[in-house]
Each structure stands twice: as C-alpha cells, then as structure tokens.
Chains A and B, each alone.
Chain A
Amino acid sequence: MKPSAPRRVSWGVYGTLFLFLLAAPPVLVWADQPFYMDLLTRVLILSIAASSLNLILGYGGMISLGHAAFVGLGAYSVAIPSYYGIYSGYLHLGIAIAACVLFALVTGAICLRTRGVYFIMITLAFAQMLYFTFVSLEEYGADDGLLIYQRSEFSGLLNLENPGVLYYLAMGVLAGCLGLMNRLIHSRFGRVIVGIRHNEPRMQSLGYNTYRYKLACYAISGAMAGISGFLLGNFTYFISPEMMDWTRSGELIFMVVLGGTGVLLAPVAGTAVFLLLEEILSAFTVYWHLLFGGFLIAIVLFGRGGLHGLVEKLERRNHSR
C-alpha cells in the first residue's frame, strides 16, 4: 500500500445526488408532492449553512458551537425590514451579510484568542447571548418570533413566492458557495488556513499572523451562513430565536461530521441524510430520537470520515478486488 495514495473522490455518488436535486422539482410538481419539495428545499438551504461551517470546522479546525447564530441573523435580516414594510431582497441580503460579518468580526476577535474546548464554549456563549437578545425584543415578537408575510423582492427578476424559483435559487447559491470555497481552499489563503489547522505554532514561526487569517476565515464562513439564513427566513415565512439556539448549532455540526469534515461536498450529503432520516424515522415512531441518536453514534464510531469516508472505503474495497 502506498502511504500517500491519491484520494478517490466519490464523484459518482455526488454526481447522482446533484442530478437528483436538479431533476426533483418538475417531478415533484407533476406528482403533486409539495411536502417533499419543501424537504429538499430545506436540504439545499441548510447545506449552505453546513458547508459554511465546514469551512471553519473542517478546513480551519475551529469547532464552533454557535454557528446557528449566523443563520438566525440572516433570517431576522429578512423579517425585521419586512416588519416595517421593506421587501427589497437586495437590502435583506445586504443586511444579512453585513450583520453576519460584523458579528463574526466582533465575537471572533475574542473567540479566536482561545483554543480547543474554550473556543467551543465561548462561541456557544456568544450565540446564546444573541439568542437571549432576540428573546427579549418584544417589538419583534420575543420568543414567539416574527411572521414574514411576503418573501424578498428582487425587482421582478425573481419571484420567490414560486417554490420552484426559491428551490433553484437555493441550489444556485449552494453551487456558488461551494465553487467559492473550492477556489478559496486552493488559494494562498486556503493553504494557510489548512496549515494552521495542522500545526499552528509552526505556521506562526513561518511568519504567519495566524489570528488574522483565522478571523478572516471566520467572517467569510459567517457571511455564507447568513445567506443561508436569508433563504431560510424566506422559505419558512417565519423566524424565531429558537432558530439560533445552540441545539441548532449542534445539528449543523452533526450534518458536517455525518457527511465528512474537510471534504468540499460531503456536508451536502450529510445534510440530506440527516433531514431525510429525521423525516423517515419520525414517521415510524414517536421515539425516533432514540433510533436517530443510535445511528449518529454508529456513524461517528465506525465510519471515521463520515459518510464520505465510508463510501471511499467501499470504493477502495471494490477497486482492489
């Protein structure tokens, strides 16, 4: 066995997933299955959030337990202007990105001074602070949240009220984010981020101010998660602080780990399996959490590298036969 055998990327699996997602809406409309259409839209939107988490967690080694805060900020960026009758999608998106970058820079500046378990706890703390801030905002519905009566408007270019349009927009944004991440991780910046994950003291002695690079990466990831929140708010017509609760952040981590950390496309598969399984199991029994928990533990225990790692292992075995 060669020690550095090239990684066999499971293009077949991801290609099938892509074609499936691309072809699903017309089929589902024809079969009159709006429920599954909604489910797949959610898969796409949360895939963006999971992928953005993968950027800091998988590539940068920064385990954040507060990522849902960005998603919530993105959704409130739709809800609050809408509450005042402002429906411009450009503005919503602009606010979402600006608010998330700002929140990432301010909290990241403090979080990134710490490492390991302290980093996890402090990201959690900041996210919970934001959660309780929104819980206390009576004007915006406090813990009941805000209804969004109308989806963002893009000057007649995109009609998000049409489920198909929202679906393909989410898919386009996901593809855009993944494309951007792909460029990023192969650029100078990306190499530095990966280097920091593996050996931060060495990177410092090589002359990298690792703190600044990590902060920039954190802000980029936050902005992407904010875009996902923008789409999620539009999709659900609703936002409540619950959407930025730490359990939501935990779910995002699981989607990434389930798919495979540090692999570009894996979190999409992780998100899809996570949400589909949640639906299927909860249809069978009210005790579905028990089965679901067991499955997740099994994946982490036996499938090192998540689903991606598992598929890779199977492919290698077939190949060597």
Chain B
Amino acid sequence: MSLAIRNLNKSFGGIMASSDVNLDIEENETHAIVGPNGSGKTTLIAQLSGIIVPDSGTIHFNGVDITRAPSHRHAHIGLARSFQITSVIMPMTLVENVMMAAQSVSGHSFRFWRPISLERDLRERAMQYLEDVGLKDVSGSEARAVSHGQRRQLEIAMALALNPRLLLLDEPMAGMGKRESGRIVELLAGLKGKMTMVLVEHDMDAVFALADTASVLVDGSIIATGPAAEVRANPEVQRAYLGDLHA
C-alpha cells in the first residue's frame, strides 16, 4: 500500500472540506480524484502534502504516519507535488529551478564554499528532467519570462527532480492549451507504473486516459471509488458530477 487515508476530517468554519475520507492507493497505481469545484480536492492534496493539518484521521505513506509531518519532510520520504496555482521561483532560470529541487534530495545544503556552478552533476540531472518535460530549449530563460504552460511543465520537472515514489498532481493541465495539455498527458502516460500518482484534474478525457482507479469527491466526501471505468459508469457519479458535463 502506497498511501492509506483513514477517517480524514477537515472543516473550515462550518464547511466540511474533508468529511470522513477513506482511501487506499496501491504502489505504482495512478489514481484520479475528480469532483466539482469546491468539493475539497485541493484541501485533500494540501493535507497529503503537509501544508494543512487535518482535524482528525490519519495519513500513512508506505507505512509511515505523515498526518502531522511538516511539509519539508515529505520530499525526503519520496512524496512530491505540483501546485494548482503555479509556484516556481520566478527570477531564476528554469534549469536553476529544477536544480533547486535536485539539490534538495542530494544531501544537505549546509555547504557554504563550493560554487553551485561546479556541481555539474546537479545541472546535468536538471537538464535531463527539463528535456523529459520538453523544456530543454528554454532552460536558460527566467521562469517569469516563459509561458504559463511552460511553467506548468516546469512544475512537473521540479517534482520529478525530487525523485518521488508518489507524485501529487494538482490540476497539472489547468489553464493550458489543447496542444500543451496533450504534451503533459503524454508525459504522465510515460511515468505511469514507475511511481504512484495522485491526479486531481477537471479534464475528463485526460483523467480516464491516465487513471487506473478513480474517486469522486462531492462536498468533502468520497461518493464512489474503484477502477476508473467503473467509476465513470456509476449512475450516482453520472448524476452527481459527470452528468453536469456530459448532459
């Protein structure tokens, strides 16, 4: 079992963002979480990545309780995420951004003397990840100078550079054009089976092209979970969520 969520609850004021959520995700499985806006998907991801602490319940990752672990611990036990709202280091170049991630998982950074420019290993690894996500040509541009879609790709490269065993992807295709999102789907398809992936996404075609299993979140509760095809066919799901889109 890669990820085990038990009886997770989180409320903000009177709103239940997570209501008794139970979920098991197997090693190397790609699991999609779908649901309407405001159903608590991002809150769930935030709890899984240690940014929000749940009111009650537990989260275990590979048998380790990470319910209350600070977010900086997650990267070191193999749990990486990309953000729904792009979060990169804008004044740094793309390769510097990815190097920042690679540096994090190659020992500590209390090294004061040796210039980072001499750490060719870090740079080479960063360039490899940039090539994987299709950003090799713009690796020297500052993050603030590239397009929104390219920054989304950068997010994924940074997450991959952490060498994760579980990748949390919060709407990786948000705000992307058709061609760009096609590229991301292709990239994620290539990663399938190599690591566990939890994918939050609105694009239903993308979700069901990638996911092995899926859960549907409505008002903070999981109303259906199982193999992706079954979840898609579930009449309750059709009515509650998918029906809205395919009506």
Counting chain A CB atoms within 10 Å of each CB, the highest count among B73, B76, B89 belongs to B89
The answer to whether A188 and B158 have CB atoms under 8 Å apart is: no
Nearest-neighbour CB distance to chain B for A263, whole angstroms, equals 14
Cross-chain contact A208 with B109 (CB below 8 angstroms): yes
Complex interface bits, A171-191 against B, C-beta within 8 A gives 1, otherwise 0: 000000000000110111111
Task: Select which of A183, A195, A204 is within 8 A of B112 by beta carbon.
Answer: A183
Residues in chain A near residue B110, CB distance under 8 A: 189, 213, 216
Instruction: Tell whether A207 pairs with B114 under 8 Å between CB atoms, given A195-B100, A202-B87.
Output: no
When distances are taken between beta carbons in the complex, the residues of chain B under 8 Å from A209 are 70, 72
Task: Report the bound CA distance from A186 to B114 in whole Å.
Answer: 8
Determine whether the beta carbon of B112 is less than 8 Å from that of A206: no
User: Is A192 part of the binding interface, using a Cβ–Cβ cutoff of 8 Å?
Assistant: yes
Residues of B130-173 contacting chain A, CB below 8 A: 140-142, 144-145, 158, 162
Contact between chains at A207 and B162 (CB < 8 Å)? yes
* A187 & B115 in contact (Cβ 8 Å cutoff): yes
- Tell me the residues in window 1-24 of chain A with beta carbons closer than 8 Å to chain B beta carbons: 3-4
C-alpha spacing A191/B111, complex, angstroms: 10
Stretch at the interface among B11-19, B90-98, B185-193, B209-217: B90-98
Shortest distance in angstroms between A318's beta carbon and chain B's nearest beta carbon?
25
Cα separation A205 to B119 with both chains bound (whole Å): 22
Is the pair A198, B109 in contact by a Cβ cutoff of 8 Å? no
A191 engages B71 (CB within 8 Å): no
Which of under 10, 10 to 19, 20 to 34, or 35 or more describes the interface residues of B?
35 or more
Q: A186-B117, A205-B49, A206-B104 are in contact. Are A192 and B109 (CB under 8 A)?
A: yes
> Once the chains bind, are A205 and B90 in contact (CB under 8 Å)?
no
How far in angstroms is the closest Cβ of chain B from A84? 35
Residues on A with C-beta less than 8 A from B237 are none
- Most A CB contacts (10 A, CB to CB) among B72, B74, B101 go to B72
User: Is A26 interfacial (CB-CB < 8 Å)?
Assistant: no
Among A186, A191, A194, A206, the residue within 8 A (CB) of B162 is: A206
Chain A contacts for B115, CB-based, 8 A: 183, 186-187
Judged by a CB distance under 8 angstroms, whether A203 is at the interface is: yes
Asked if B158 contacts A189 (CB within 8 A), the reply is: no
Bitwise interface map of B from 51 to 68 toward A, beta carbon under 8 Å scored 1, else 0: 100000000000000000
* B88/A199 in contact, CB under 8 A: yes
**Bound complex: CA of A206 vs CA of B101, how far in Å?**
6
CB < 8 Å neighbour of A188 from B71, B83, B116: B116
Answer whether residue A201 sits at the interface, using C-beta atoms and an 8 A cutoff.
yes
Q: Which A residues lie within 8 Å of B87 (CB)?
A: 199, 201-202, 205
Taken together as a complex, chains A and B put the C-alpha atoms of A190 and B70 apart, in Å, by 23
Residues in chain B near residue A208, CB distance under 8 A: 72, 104, 109
Distance from B110 Cβ to chain A, minimum over Cβ atoms (Å): 6
Question: In the complex, what residues of A have CB within 8 A of residue B112's CB?
Answer: 183-184, 187, 189-190
Whether A150 sits at the interface, judged by CB under 8 Å, is no
Residues of B within 8 A of A (CB): 49, 51, 70-76, 80-81, 83, 87-93, 96, 99-101, 103-105, 109-117, 119, 140-142, 144-145, 158, 162
Give chain A's interface residues, CB within 8 Å of chain B: 3-4, 183-184, 186-192, 194-195, 198-199, 201-210, 213, 216
7 additional contacts (CB under 8 A) given A191-B96, A201-B87: A4-B145, A194-B92, A199-B87, A202-B88, A205-B71, A205-B87, A208-B104
